[in-house]
Structure 1
Amino acid sequence: MKIRYTALTVTFLCFFLLTSIIQAQVKLPGSKVSGTILDEEKKILDFATISLLNARDSSLIRTAVSGLDGKFILQELPAGDYILFASMVGFQKTGTKIFSLNESSPVMNFPDFILKKDNKMLGEVTVRAVKPFIERKVDRLVVNVENSSVSAGSTALEVLQRAPGVTVDQNDNIAMQGKQGVLVMIDGKQTYMSNADVANLLRNMPSSQIETIELITNPSAKYDAAGNSGIINIKTKKSNSVGTNGTLTAGAGYGDNYRSNAGLTLNHRNKDINLFGNYNFSSTDRAQNMIINREVSNSITKTYFGQQGNSFRKNDSNNFKAGLDIFLNKSNTLGFLMNGYSNSGTELYNNTTFIGRSFSQADSSVIAINDGRSQYRNMAYNLNYKSVLDTSGKELSVDLDYSRFNANERTLYDNHFVNYIGPDRAPSLIKNSTPALINIKALKIDYSMPLNKTMKFEAGLKSSIVKTDNDFRFEEFKTNNWENDVRRSNQFVYDENVNAAYTNLNKQFKSTTVQLGLRAEQTNSKGNSITTSKLVERSYIDIFPSVFINQTLSKNHDMGLSYSRRIDRPSYDALNPFIYFLDQYTYNQGNPFLNPQYTNNYELSYNYKKTYNLTLNYSLTRDVITEVLLPDTAKKALFQTNENLDKQIHYGVNLTAPVTLSKWWSSSNNIQLYYLGFRSPNLRGQELNSGKVALQLNSQHKFIITSTLSAELIADYRSPFEYGTLKLSSQYGIDLGISKSLLKKRANIKLALSDVFDTRDQTITSAYTGLKYNLFQKNETRIGRISFSYRFGKSEIKPERRRSTGLEDEQSRIKN
C-alpha cells in the first residue's frame, strides 16, 4: 500500500510543482486593457471576440470575449506595442491604432467600440451551407445527425448503427472498426452503464435529441483510460442573448409494429442565470426472430438441436434533464445538473427446440415460453464550479457527482417437454428476479493554462467510488409452492475505488503541433460472491502515456501521428457468477475471475485540403475481455460467457472522401478495410486462432431540391468478419428520407424509410473447434417514420454549458 500511495503522491507533487513554476512569467505589474463593445444603436454586444496583436509582427498575444454587459478586460500583459481588434458575426471588424504598455503607462481604457453591421449585398446569389452527414476532423469523425432526414423519427441506437465503422451485435455490444470495448459518452459525460443498459438508453432516446455523434478512435490522457476501441460522444441539441426559447417534437413509425415519441426542450437565460431542461417520452414495440441449428457429437452418437424462437418487446421510456447555471460574475460560474430516466419493458419469448438424430427427424422437443418484466431507474446529479482565473486563459473546473442506478428484471420460464417415442416429462416452471443497486460517487478537478501564445498546459485529478449489489433469486415451482433454488440463487457485491491524475502539454511550433500526455490510475477492487463465499480482491497502479503530433506539410497537406495506452476493466455484470436461461439448452453465465485488458493504440493520418482523410491504425490488446459462445458437453448445451483471451490484433485503413457532384447533390463516403484477429493458447482446453480481413462501406447522399426541401439516401455494407469464437455474415441496407421546412424555418417535417429492402439480418457460425452451430437472427429493421418539430421563442439564446462530469468511466460498465 505504501508504494501505491507514494506513486500517487509523487504524481500530485509534480503536478503542483510544475504549476507553480510555469506561472512564474514576467508580466508588467498592474497592466490592463479594457473597453465596451456596442452596436450603432449603442446596444450592448455580448460574446464579441477581442484580439490583442503584437504591433511588430501581428502575432496573436491574447484573446477575450465581451461579457453580458458588453465589457472586456485583458490583464497581466507584458510591456510592448499592440493593436486591438473587435469582431462579431454580422458586423464589420473594428481595430485601434498602435498603442504601448510600459511601466509609466501600464493601463489602456478605450472608449466604446462601435461595431457597424455588415450590410454587404450578394445580389441574387443564394448560399446554402449544408453540413455533410459525415465530417472528418483532426482527431475525430463527426456524424451530423441534426440535419439528416433519414434519421428522422429514429432512435439514437438506430442512428449510431449508421455511423461509419460502428456495429451493434445481437447482444447490444457496441463496436468500432470491429473492436468492442467502446466508451459511450453523452455531452462529454460518461454514461456509467453497461453495454446492455447503454443500448437500452439509446434505444429509448429519440434522434430529435441528437445534434452530432463524435467517433474518437485515439483519445488523449485527459479522458479516462477506459475504452480500447475509443470513445463515442453523443452531443444532444442545445438552444442557441437573453430570453426564452424551446423546441417541441413528435413522431411516429410503423414496421411490423407501432412506435411513437414526443419531447419538449426549454431554455431561459438572462444576465445572471441560465435555466434549461428537457423531457422526452418514447414507446417502442419491436419483434425479433431467431433460428439456431447445432450439432453435438461424442464418440458414439450425434444429437441435433433445431431451435426456433421469436420475441416481442415493448419499451416505454421517460428521459429528463434539468439544470441551472449561475453567473456569479464574468469569471466564475456555478452550475447544477440533474438528469435521469425511468424505463419499463416487457418481453414475451417463445422458443421451441427440436431434438433428434437429424434436423428432419425429432425424437423430442422442448417448448419454452418466457415472460419477462423489467424496470430501470437512474438519477445522476452534478455540481460544477468553473473559474476563469485571469485573462490569459487560465481555467479551473471542479465537478462533484453522484449517481444511483436501480434495476429489476423478473422472468417466468414455462417449459413443456414432448417425447415422440415415449412418455413426456412433467412441465417445469421456474422464475428469477434480479434486483440490482449501483451507487457511484466521483470528484474531478481540471486545470488549464496557456504558458504563452504557442503552449498550453492541462492537468487534473479524479477519484471515484463504486458499489454494486446484485441479488439473483432463482425459484422453482414444486408441490404447489415456489421454492428457492440454492444451487442457482446468488448475491454478488462489488466495490471499486479508482484514483487518477493526468497532465497534458500542448506546443504549437511553426508548422507542427505536439501534445504529450501522461495519466496514472490506481485501482482497488473487491468482488464478493456472498452465497458461494468466493472473494476476488485486486489492487494495482497503471501508467497511460499518450503522444499526438500533427504536421502541416503545405497549404493542402497535413499529417498526424498518435499513440496511447488504455485499459478496460470488466463490466459489473460480466463479473456476476449468475446464470440466465433461454431454455435448459441455452444459457448465459458471468465470470468473477476476469482481469482488466490493456491496449496499445497507434494511428497515422493524412489530410488533403482539410477534406479528404486517410488513416492507418494498429492496436494490440493483451488479456482481451471477449464474449464467447462455448459448448457445455455435460448438458449438451450452448452457453455464453466472457473470457480473457491472450491477445487481440487489429490493423486497418480508413478513408473519408466527401464529393460534390453538383450544386444540388453532395455525398459523404467512408471506407474501412481492417483485420481483426484473436489468439488464445488455451480456451477451455482448446487453442483459438481466429481472424479475418473485413470491409465496411458507408455512403450518404444529400439532394437540395429547393431552399426548404431536401432528400437523403444512405447505403452501407459490412463484409463477413470474425470476432473471438464467432463468425459473422455480411450485412447491408439502404435508408431514404425527405425533409421540408415550414413557417419561416421554425417548423420541420421529415419522412423516412429505413432498410428499404429489408436486408439487414445476421447469421453467426462458430470459430471454435468442435462446436457446430448456425444462428440466424432478424430484427424489425424496415420501418417508416414521420417526425415533426417546432422551434419557438428567441432563436439566439446562448446554450447551457457543455461540461464533462466526474462520472466518465464507471457508469459505462453498468450492465443488466
Structure 2
Amino acid sequence: MKNPLSVLLFCFGKFLFLSSLQSLGQDRISGQVINKSNKSIQDVSVILFSKTDGHVLKTSITNADGYFEISSDHLLNNDLKFTHLNYDERIIHLDTEALKNGIITVLLDEASRRNLKEVQVTTRKQLIERKIDRTIFNVENSIAVIGGDAMDALSKAPGVRVGSNNSISIIGKNTIKVLINDKLIRLSGDDLVNYLKSIPAADLSRIEVITNPPSKYDAEGNSGLINIVTRKVKREGFYGNVRMNFIKTVYQSENGGVSFSYVKDRMTLTGGINGNHNRTYSTNTKRTFYPEQLWDESANKIRKNRSISGSIGLDYKINSKQLIGFQYNASFPGNDDKASSLTTVGSHEKLKPDSLITTNSLTSSRIQNHSFNIHHEIEIDTAGKGVFTDADYFYYTKGSNGIYSSYTQNDAMSDPAHMSGALNQTPQKIKLMSAQTEFRYPVRNYKLSWGAKISMIRNNSNSNFYIENADTLLLDTSRTFKFRYKENTEALFFSGNRSFGKLEVQLGLRAEYTQINGVSETYNQENEAFYLKIFPTAYFLYRFDDEQSLSLTYGRRISRPEYSRLNPFRYYSSPYSYSEGNPYLLPSYSNNFEISHNYKDLVTSQGFVSILYNGFDQIGIPDKNTNIIGIVQRNFLKVTSCGINETINTTYSSWLESYHEISVYYNSAVSSNINTPKKVDGWGAYLSTSNTITFNKKKTILGSADFWFQFPEISGVDKVESYYSLDLGLKLLLLHKKLTVIINGTDLLKTNKVYFGSITNSIVQNYGGYSGARSVRLSFSYKFGAAIKSQRKKNSVSNDSEKKRI
C-alpha cells in the first residue's frame, strides 16, 4: 500500500457518498424526553400509531439519557405517544414540519399523586439485548447476581468465562480488556479481581460484551472488551460496602476491603481500598524425549502474595451540558515464590535414572502500579451531539530478585563440580501516556462520530546476573543487560451508523501510525520500525420482528509484540534452560468475521471465522547435543479458527434461572519454522451450564450449580487435553438484604488440570500442571449508608429560576 492516507480518505468519501444515496429510504425520527427541570427521563414508552385507526405501528423506549429512536415508512401524518408512570401522557402529531430535522425534544409534565395510585408497572428490560456492535446483559434483571459483586455478574454475562482462578475471557478471544463506564481499567491479575469484587452488583446497570470492538477503540490485540456500566445514583447521600473473604485451598488466604460513594448536588465522589493476603500451591510436570535420553521433571511452587490497592474518583457537573472528572487507581502487590524441581535423566529403557538434577529457587518481587485518568464531557444539544475527551497516565515499577541453586547427582553420589548457584536482579520501569478526543454528531438519519488518539510507551528493563563462586557473588557480564524501548502511536478513527428500515448498518475506519525504537545497551544494538496500517470495521443488524434478529460483523486487528519479546538478551532460568527475545519480531494481523442469530434474546446462535497472519509465539527448541532448551521468539504462524457457539438463557420458573452454552470449533496452525510441525490442526469443543436456584419467595436464599467441560483442542502448535470443573454455592441475604453471606466450592472434583504436548526440532515435549483451583470460599459483605435529607425550603433559593435555565 503506497499511500494508505489516500485510501483512508477515499474510503471515508465513498462511505458518505453511498450513505447519501440511501437518504431517500425509510424515515427515522429521534430525540430526547425531558421534564421541566431539563433532566432526561428514562424508560418512557414511545408508541407510533396510526392517526386513522389507532393501530400501533412501532414502539420504542428511552435509554438512560432519555433518548429514543423510531424508524418507519409510516411516520408522516401519524402520531407519537409518550407515556411514563410518573408523567402525564403526551401525543405529538408528525407533520412535515415535525419531520423536517428528524430530531425532536419532548417535555413531559409530572403526573398527580392520585393518578399514580391507579397505575402499575408491568414492563421491564429484557435480560439480554442485542445491539449492532455488542451484546448487553441487564444485570438488574438477573436473580443470579442478587447480593453479589461485579465478578459474579461477569460470570453470568453471555459469552464471558470466569475461570476457577478468576481469569476472565471471552469465547474465541485471546485476551480481554475491562472498562468501567467506557474508561479502561489498567489493572490485571488479583488487583483487577479485587477491584471488581469491590463493586456490588446492585450498583451495576448492565454489562456490554464487545467481541469485535468498533473503530473508536484501539486495534491492538485479538481481544474483546467488557464494558461495565454502573447505575446513575439519583439520591444524594453516602453509601458504602465492606467485605471480607476467607479462601481455603491447600493453604488459607484472606482478602477484604471497603468502598464508598458520596453524592451531593453536582458532585459524585467514589473510592475504596482493598487488602489481599494469599498463599497458593501449584505443581507442574515436563517430559522431554531426547533421542538417547528421557528428561522427566516435576516441580512445585508456593506463592505468598500480599497486596494493597485503592481507588478514588470524582465527577463534577459544571452545568447541565458539561462534566469533568478524574479517576486514580493504585496497587502495591508483592510476591514471594519458593519453587523446587527434580529432574530425572535416563535412557528410555532403563527404570533407574542415570542422574538426578535438583533445582531450588526463591524469587521476590515488589510492584508499584499507578493509573490516573482525567475526562471532560460536553453535550452540545439534546440530540446527542458532544465532545468527549480522556487523558491517561500509567506508571509501573517492578523490582525482582531471583536466587536459584542447582545440584546434580550421578550414581547416587554428589559431585561438587555439578553444583551451581546464581542471583538475578531485574528492575523494570514502564510509563504510558495517552489522550483521546471523540466528536459525536448525529445529523438527520445518520449517527456520525470521529476522533483522534495519541499514546506513548516508555520501558526501561535491566538485569544483573551474579554467579556464586566460593561463597561470593560475581557479576556475570555475559548475562547482564540493559534494554530501552519506546513506542509512539497516533490514530484517527471514524464511524457512521444509519438504519434502512429493518436493516441497521454501522461502518468504521481506523488508521494507526506506529513508531518503535528498541535499544540494547548490552549488545550496542538499536532497532527501529515505522508502519501505517488501516483497520476497517463493519456491522449489519437485520431485525425480522421484535423477536428475531440477524447480525454480521467484520473487523481487522493487529497484535504487536510485547516489549519483553523484543529484548534480545539471553536469560538463564537454570543451567539447562534459557529464554531470549527477538528485536526483529513483526506484528501479526487478523481478519475476524462473525454471524449471529438471536431469538427472543433467549437463544443466540453464532458462527465465527478468524484468520491470523504472521503470528508470533515462543518456541522451546531442545539442543540434541547439550540437552539445553532454548525458548526463542519467532514470526512463524498462520492460524485459522472457525466454529459455532450456541447460548440458551432460560427462566424455567420463578425459582430457577439457567444459562447454557456450547461451542464447537476447528483450529489450524500452519508453521513456517523448520523446528516445528508444518501443520497442527484439530477440533475442539466447550460446554457449560450455570444455574441459580431461589429457595424462598423473598429471594434471600439462593443456590448455584455450575459445570463446564473443555474438550481436547489445538492451541498454537500445542495439543491440549480435556479438563473440567464443578462449582457449587449458597448465598444468604440477611438484615433486610444489607448483609450477604456466600459460601462457594470451586473445582470440587479437582479436575481443572491442564495437560498439553508439542513437537519441536523432532523432539516430543509433554507438559502438565495444576494451579490449585480447588477451593472453598466464605464471603461476607455489608452495605451501609443513607440518603441526605434536604433542609431547603421552597423559597430559600434565590437563583432557582436561573438554575432552571441551565
Normalising by structure 2, what TM-score?
A: 0.83
Native 8 Å contact 1:417 1:424 kept in 2: yes
Deviation at 1:118, TM superposition (A): 3.7
8 Å Cα contact 1:459-1:504 kept in structure 2: yes
| 1:336 is the counterpart of 2:326 | yes
Residues 609-659 of structure 1 deviation map (CA, whole Å, 9 limit, x = unaligned): 222110111011101122433323343133444322231101010101123
Match of residue 288 from structure 1: 282
Matched letter for residue 119 of structure 1: K
Deviations 1:358-409 (A, max 9, x none): 4732222221111011111111111111000112210111112211111122
Which residue of structure 1 lines up, in the alignment, with residue 425 of structure 2? 433
Judged with a 3 Å threshold, the aligned counterparts in structure 2 of structure 1 residues 283 and 580 are, in CA distance, closer, same or farther, namely: farther
Q: How does 1:406-445 map to 2 (within 5 A)?
A: 406-420=397-411, 424-426=415-417, 427-445=419-437
Equivalent residues of 1:149, 1:737 under 8 A apart: no
- 1:704 is displaced (CA, Å) by 1.1
Question: Is 1:749 aligned with 2:741?
Answer: yes
Conserved in 2, the CA contact under 8 Å of 1:354 and 1:362? yes
Among residues 731, 736, 747, which one is paired with 1:739 in the alignment?
731
Aligned match of 1:119: 117
Q: Is 1:376 the counterpart of 2:367 in the alignment?
A: yes
Q: CA deviation at 1:157?
A: 11
CA contact (8 A) 1:283 1:314 kept: yes
> 1:82 Cα deviation (Å)?
11
Match of 2:237 in 1: 243
Q: For residues 552 and 208 of structure 1, do their structure 2 counterparts lie closer, same or farther at Cα, with a shift above 3 Å needed?
A: same
Whether the aligned pair in 2 keeps the contact of 1:164 and 1:698 (CA below 8 Å) is no
Question: Structure 1 residues 764, 444: CA separation in 2 closer, same or farther (over 3 Å shift)?
Answer: same
Summarize the alignment of residues 561-580 of structure 1 with structure 2, pairs less than 5 Å apart.
Answer: 561-580=552-571
In the other structure, the counterpart of 1:95 is: 90
2:338 pairs with 1:351: no
Number of corresponding residues: 752
Say whether the 8 Å CA contact 1:161–1:168 is kept in structure 2. Answer: no
1:111-165: CA deviation from partner (whole Å, max 9, x where unpaired): 964454743587xx9x999997x88766445678897879999996997799857
> For residues 156-194 of structure 1, what are the alpha-carbon distances to aligned partners after superposition, in whole Å with 9 as ceiling and x for unaligned?
699779985758799x9976545535445455344557x
How far did 1:201 drift?
A: 3.4
Contact 2:429-2:460 within 8 A present in 1 as well: yes
Three-state SS of the structure 2 residue aligned to 1:362 is: coil
Give 1:782's aligned residue: 774
1:67-106, aligned counterparts within 5 Å? 91-95=86-90
**Aligned residue number for residue 71 of structure 1:** none
Of the two structures, which has the highest relative contact order with CA contacts closer than 8 Å and spacing of 6 or more? Answer: 1
Aligned to 1:659: 650
Note if contact 1:153-1:208 (Cα within 8 Å) is conserved in structure 2: no
How far does the alpha carbon of each residue in 1:696-716 deviate from its partner, in whole angstroms, 9 at most, with x for none? 001001111112111111100
Alignment of 1:714 with 2:709, yes or no, is no
SS at match of 1:682: coil
What residue identity is the alignment partner of 1:540? Y
Say if 1:347 and 1:605 are closer, same or farther in 2 by CA, change over 3 A. same
What residue number does 2:585 align with? 594
CA separation in 1, counterparts of 2:161 and 2:328? 29
Q: Deviations over 1:706-734 (max 9, x none)?
A: 12111111100001112223111101111
Q: Tell me which amino acid in the other structure corresponds to 2:626.
A: K
**Which one of 263, 266, 273 corresponds to residue 272 of structure 1?**
266
Q: Is the 8 A contact 2:616 2:637 kept in 1?
A: no
The one-letter code sitting in structure 2 at the alignment partner of 1:495 is K
Within 1, Cα distance between the matches of 2:552 and 2:11? Answer: 29
The answer to whether the 8 Å contact 2:622/2:761 transfers is no
Deviation at 1:268, TM superposition (A): 1.1
Q: Would the alpha carbon gap of residues 201 and 635 (structure 1) be closer, same or farther in structure 2, given more than 3 Å must change? A: farther
Quote the offset at 1:556 in angstroms: 2.4
Is 631-640 or 275-284 further displaced after alignment?
631-640
Q: Counterpart in 1 of 2:659?
A: 668
- 1:95 aligned counterpart, secondary structure: strand
CA change 1:480–1:421 in 2 (3 A) is closer
Deviations 1:554-586, CA, capped at 9 Å, x for gaps: 332210111111111111222223445443223
**Contact 1:317 1:343 (8 Å CA) reproduced:** yes
One-letter amino acid matched to 1:455: Y
The separation in 1 between residues aligned to 2:693 and 2:550, in whole angstroms, is 32
Alignment partner, residue 508 of structure 2: 517
Is the contact between residue 392 and residue 433 of structure 2 (CA under 8 Å) also seen in structure 1? yes
Distance 1:164 1:33 in 2: 32
1:508 to 499, 503, 521: 499
Return the letter of the residue paired with 1:472: S
Cα pair 1:615 1:654 within 8 Å, conserved: yes
Cα distance in 1 for partners of 2:90, 2:156 equals: 49
Q: Please give the per-residue CA displacement for 1:474-510, whole angstroms capped at 9, x wherever unaligned.
A: 1112234321111111111110110001111000222
Residue 694 of structure 2 is aligned to residue 704 of structure 1? yes
Distance 1:310 1:192 in 2: 30
Whether the 8 Å contact between 1:152 and 1:208 is mirrored in structure 2 is: no
Residue number in structure 1 paired with 2:679:
689
Is residue 2:774 matched to residue 1:773? Answer: no
CA change 1:743–1:696 in 2 (3 A) is same
User: Relative to 1, partners in 2 of residues 1:788 and 1:165: Cα closer, same or farther, differing over 3 Å?
Assistant: closer
Provide structure 2 residue ranges, at least 5 long, that are not aligned to the other structure. 22-30, 52-56, 67-75, 790-806
> CA separation in 1, counterparts of 2:118 and 2:632?
66
- 1:323-358 CA distance string (max 9 Å, x none): 111111000111111112111111100111122224
Do 2:380 and 2:386's aligned partners in 1 also have CA atoms closer than 8 Å?
yes
Q: Please tell me whether the aligned partners of residues 344 and 374 of structure 1 are also in contact (alpha carbons under 8 angstroms).
A: yes
Secondary structure in 2 matching 1:336: strand
In 2, are the aligned partners of 1:727 and 1:767 still within 8 Å (CA)?
A: no
Shift of the 716–469 alpha-carbon distance from structure 1 to 2, 3 Å rule, reads same
Give distance in 1, aligned partners of 2:683 and 2:479. Answer: 41
Say whether the 8 Å CA contact 1:470–1:491 is kept in structure 2: yes
Q: 1:492, 1:527 within 8 Å by CA — same for their partners in 2?
A: yes
Aligned partners of 1:239 and 1:795 also within 8 Å: no
Output the CA distance in 2 between the equivalents of 1:612 and 1:314.
Answer: 44
Residue 367 of structure 1, aligned match among 355, 358, 361: 358
Distance in 1 between the 2:106 and 2:156 partners?
A: 55
How big is each residue's C-alpha offset from its partner over 1:653-672, in whole Å with a ceiling of 9 and x where there is no partner? 01011233333223110111
Is residue 472 from structure 1 mapped to residue 470 from structure 2 by the alignment?
A: no
- Name the TM-score, length of structure 1 as normaliser: 0.82
Structure 2: how far apart are the matches of 1:634 and 1:241?
Answer: 73
- The correspondence for 1:610, drawn from 597, 601, 608, is 601
Give the match for residue 798 of structure 2.
none
Partner residue of 2:378? Answer: 387
8 Å contact kept, 1:338–1:380: yes
Deviations 1:537-567 (A, max 9, x none): 1101011111100011233221011111111
How far apart are residue 317 of structure 1 and its match?
2.0
Q: Counterparts of 1:644 and 1:786 in 2: how far apart (Å)?
A: 46
Q: Which residue of 2 aligns with 1:219?
A: 213
Which residue matches 1:810?
none
User: CA–CA distance in 1 between the matches of 2:325 and 2:523?
Assistant: 45
- Deviation (angstroms), 1:269: 1.3
For residues 8 and 316 of structure 1, do their structure 2 counterparts lie closer, same or farther at Cα, with a shift above 3 Å needed? Answer: farther
